[in-house]
Amino acid sequence: MADVQLIGVHKAYGATAVVKGISLRIESGEFISLLGPSGCGKTTTLRMIAGLETLDAGTISIGGELVDSEKGHVPPEKRALGMVFQSYAVWPHKSVAENVAYPLLLQRKPSSEIAQRVTQALEWVRLGAFAQRMPSQLSGGQLQRVAIARALVANPRVLLLDEPLSNLDAALREELRGEIAALRARLGTTMIFVTHDQHEALALSDRVAVMHQGVIEQIDSPQKIYQSPSTPFVAGFVGGANRLEGRVEGRSFICGAHTFELPERVTAVDGPATLAVRAEELELGSTGPSLPLLARLFLGSATEFRFTLGESVLRVVGPARDVKPGESVRVALQHARLYPR
Ligand SMILES: Nc1ncnc2c1ncn2[C@@H]1O[C@H](COP(=O)(O)OP(=O)(O)OP(=O)(O)O)[C@@H](O)[C@H]1O
Ligand SMILES: [Mg+2]
């Protein structure tokens, strides 16, 4: 296990900067997620840590050793890391055991040691009975577990995972998510997990780094990220908050032609602001502005109501109500976060 430190890391492709001065310290044994929308620079950041991309500026250290700086670039195979990709990247003509053994063969380990470590790694991912199978005889979830065993077999200092669950169906994704958590608890390896799925990031991580357009907007525990998003973007991306542009006047938030009363616990300063409110923090009832219902969606445990609010759509989730599209309903804030502009 090792810590990983990025200081002022920059990367551009041609004229386009995709990682813009990221600084990040991942403690030894920590599980950190890089969470953000498509194209925000998550894979590029992970590939720079792996040594698969060079940096334009900044430094990366692993276990206290500078692996990227103006002094030079340590190649991927000398970084002692494990990496798992979204596409399973399992060799089709090698058996499960041969796939997992490969990193140890490259290190010219004696065959008795290889056999023992392959058995152990397959047991970690609960594939002990599948050692002699060929990849074509495995499911997607099993293939990804082969890839995880292969990444772990050589005792990497850090395990890097790039959207490892994205190609799996919902049930398998949830199962493998639990297995990654269990493996992590058992092995204590430092893990960096890239995902655009907030649920995965919140469920698995010690800390989550939320990325947006090549920068980290917030890095905090999952609880803090969810409860106290530090920017409107984080509030919108994690927890799917509605974002309204308007201005605060006293205890009111004025958004176009509509005025919302601010709940007592929301601290407010007069002036232009963005208000972020989650769908379940809005309430349909007898107070608040009257808004026309656009659509009603049954979600099972609750119902989603979509209202027209000026140019945008306001999403509310709550108990079922007999209201039809076109009818108007009063919508009130129960909670919200204000970001002065
Ligand atoms: N080799 C490359 N050449 C040019 N542009 C690239 C290259 N690799 C990535 N990019 C661009 O850099 C930006 C960041 O890409 P990156 O793959 O890091 O995003 P990401 O956050 O992993 O997204 P996703 O969730 O879609 O995987 C994107 O706009 C992408 O098009
Ligand atoms: Mg990516």
Q: What is the mean pLDDT of residues 6-10?
A: 98
Residue 340 has pLDDT above 90, yes or no: yes
Q: How far is the CA of 38 from the centre of ligand 2 (A)?
A: 7
Average pLDDT across the chain, whole number: 95
pLDDT of residue 89: 86
Q: What is the mean pLDDT of residues 209-229?
A: 97
The matching CATH number, chosen from 1.10.645.10, 3.40.50.300, 3.40.1350.10, 3.90.700.10, for 4-228 is 3.40.50.300
Residue 1 has pLDDT above 90, yes or no: no
Residue 289 has pLDDT above 90, yes or no: yes
pLDDT of residue 99: 96
Closest CA to 29 of 206, 293, 228: 206
Atom of ligand 1 nearest to the CA of 163: 27
Q: How far is the CA of 19 from the centre of ligand 1 (A)?
A: 10
Please choose from 33, 42, 86 the residue to mutate so as to test ligand 1's pocket, defined by most ligand atoms within 8 A of CB: 42
Residue pair 261/332 in contact (Cβ under 8 Å)? The answer is yes
Residues with CB under 6 A from ligand 1: 13, 18, 36, 38-44, 196
- Burial of 79: CB neighbours in 10 Å, binned 0-12, 13-18, 19+: buried
Atom of ligand 1 nearest to the CA of 45: 18
pLDDT of residue 300: 93
Q: How far is the CA of 43 from the centre of ligand 1 (A)?
A: 7
The model carries a pTM of: 0.92
Residues 46-97 pLDDT 10s: 999 999 999 999 999 999 999 999 999 999 999 999 999 888 889 999 999 9
Phi, psi dihedral angles at 111 (to 5 degrees): -65, -30
* Domain ranges within the chain, ordered by starting residue: 4-228, 241-340
Superfamily of domain 241-340: Nucleic acid-binding proteins (2.40.50.140)
Please work out, in degrees rounded to the nearest 5, the angle formed at the alpha carbon of residue 101 by the alpha carbons of 29 and 156. 15
Residue nearest to atom 10 of ligand 1 (CA): 13
Please work out, in degrees rounded to the nearest 5, the angle formed at the alpha carbon of residue 187 by the alpha carbons of 162 and 115. 90
Residue 269 has pLDDT above 90, yes or no: yes
Residue 168 has pLDDT above 90, yes or no: no
Give the H/E segment covering residue 282.
Answer: strand 282-298
Q: What is the mean pLDDT of residues 152-158?
A: 94
Atom of ligand 1 nearest to the CA of 34: 21
Residues 304-315 pLDDT 10s: 999 999 889 999
Residue pair 284/321 in contact (Cβ under 8 Å)? The answer is yes
Q: How far is the CA of 41 from the centre of ligand 2 (A)?
A: 7
pLDDT of residue 220: 98
Distance CA 80, CA 213 (A): 29
